[in-house]
Copies of this chain bind each other. A is one copy, B any other.
């Protein structure tokens, strides 16, 4: 039934900017319950095809945005699912206060300490991702931080610090000398870069910048 409603809307019966009938009228028209129409409409809202406003009704969006879900698995899982052998190497790990732009992005209080962790993730011993991470010390809750040489910070956080808010951005960067050496690339090469910040109940957890090996491509659903 939901699919039928989706087809009913999509079959170019309505174009960009058009106002759709009331939910209850659509329900009558298609011979189903209003709640079914509501559910179908909420699906279409999520995919970005329509806009709904209380009292304002439902419209087909004038400029439908391309909307897709991006899924970035734990690095180890991503590498192993390609059939490659995973490994990682801790480059450095020190506790200090992060630079301003990091603290700002994390919405950190002034002078809050972070654990700064740099690591490389390897696929069949070849550099795959260079990870530059800041972890709010509050997440260790007094306990000493774990040994990130045996478990990557990426994986430890996924297992121990569930988040309820996240901010992500993508960009392309040219490798400087450091990045080129870490990723066995060349100075100036283009690298795909993901920046992530996570929070739990308003408290910052971590901010990580990941640089992928040259030629990496991220596929969405």
Contact = CB atoms under 8 A, between A and B. Distances in A.
Interface in A153-193: 155, 158-159, 162, 164, 166-174, 188-193
A71 B66 contact: yes
Interface residues of A, number: 49
B63 A169 contact: no
A171 B189 CA distance: 12
A96 interface: no
Given A67-B71, A70-B68, A70-B220, A192 B167 contact: no
A12 interface: yes
Interface of A: 6, 10, 12, 15-16, 48-49, 63-74, 76-77, 155, 158-159, 162, 164, 166-174, 188-193, 196, 212, 215-220
